[in-house]
Amino acid sequence: MSIRNPKDFWAGLIYVVLGLAAVYIAQDYEMGTATRMGPGYFPTLLGGFLALIGVVSLVRSFYVPGEPVGALALKATLLICGATLLFGLMLRGAGMIVSMIVMLLISSYASVRFRLVPAVLLAVGITAFCALVFVRGLGVPMPLVGSWFGG
């Protein structure tokens, strides 16, 4: 039996590995119940679903023909991963607003269709949405303005 769809195969393998890793890491946390979820409930459930989707994709890769995997977009991969890392490093000092705008602008620069004005508008809109939903609505303890800016 040979792989007929390399994209589905590799995507499925990545999903299975990440899903099982999430389940493995979450096993040390209390599960709780569906009505009183513990800290391990969501990562276990999400990891299980991700692994299941990965298995479906793996099986599908042997039956449904598809395209080969293209070349790795190294510049885009480094920009997106670097932007995410920079967000984590800047969050406490700069705050969520500045960190998120910087992350989104660097990430959007990875696209071949990058345009500065739409990227800035989108970054400001997504940042405002996340500030309202996560910090104000859900109470996630994340500073909107960090100590570098007097927050």
- Read off the pLDDT of residues 61-118 as tens digits, 9 standing for 90 and up: 999 998 888 888 899 999 999 999 999 999 999 999 999 999 999 999 999 999 999 9
Residue 118: what are its φ and ψ, rounded to 5°? -60, -35
Q: Which H or E run contains 84? A: helix 74-94
With helix as H, strand as E and coil as C, how does 63-82 read?
A: CCCCCCCCCCCHHHHHHHHH
pLDDT tens, 123-144?
Answer: 999 999 999 999 998 888 999 9
Contact predicate 117/110, CB 8 Å: no
Q: Where are any strands of DSSP class E within the chain?
A: none
3-state DSSP helix/strand/coil percent for the chain, to nearest 5? 65, 0, 30
Residue 142 DSSP code: -
